[in-house]
Amino acid sequence: MGYTFLFHTKWADFDANKHMRHTAYNDYAAECRVRFFMDNGFHVSRFEKENFGPVLFKEETTFLREVKLGENITVSLFLEGISKQGERFKLFHRIYREDGVLAAEIKVFGAWIDLKKRKLTTPPVELLATIDALDKTEDFEVISIKP
């Protein structure tokens, strides 16, 4: 399953040079992830009720082409890696301009955390199945966890 979302950019996303500010790319990638979870039955309230949520360890952005003032973007989400138990994950985003040109790529490495214990946890099987159904990158890997 692929996941993409069209965003209508807003004035506040742009800088004095009339191109999208660097942190806005990451904001849209994060919003894409939230919408993916919501569209698959994992609303913020469900995370709260089940007492877990995502935590990010690393976010890496590669800027390829500028997005100009007033352009809309499409953000795609892919699975780049997951641990055997599903507690750690690598997600990959591509951000495209209106004309279909690839503007940026974002890699996110994270895990699931128990919100009470403040320790890493395994997410519900239903969520693991949803994540695993995402299209995988060519360099998809099973993340090994060192003891």
pLDDT band at 146 (very low <50, low <70, confident <90, very high): confident
Residue 121 lies in a domain: yes
C-alpha to C-alpha distance for 81 and 88, rounded to whole angstroms:
8
Residue 144 lies in a domain: no
- Give me the pLDDT at residue 43, please: 93
Residue 147 lies in a domain: no
Q: pLDDT digits over 62-81, tens only?
A: 999 999 999 999 999 999 99
CB contact at 8 A, 90 and 33: no
Find the CATH number of the domain harbouring 38. Answer: 3.10.129.10
Q: pLDDT digits over 33-55, tens only?
A: 999 999 999 999 999 999 999 99
CB contact at 8 A, 81 and 142: yes
Residue 100 lies in a domain: yes
Residue 145 lies in a domain: no
Residues facing residue 74 across a β-bridge: 6, 96
Structural domain of 45: 3-139
The CA R_g of the chain, rounded to the nearest whole Å, is: 16
Please report where in the chains the tokens 């009720």 appear, as a residue. Answer: 49
Residue 146 lies in a domain: no
Q: Count how many domains the chain has.
A: 1
Distances (CA, A) of 68 to 10, 17, 65, 96, 139: 11, 9, 10, 12, 31
The tokens for 4 are: 């993409």
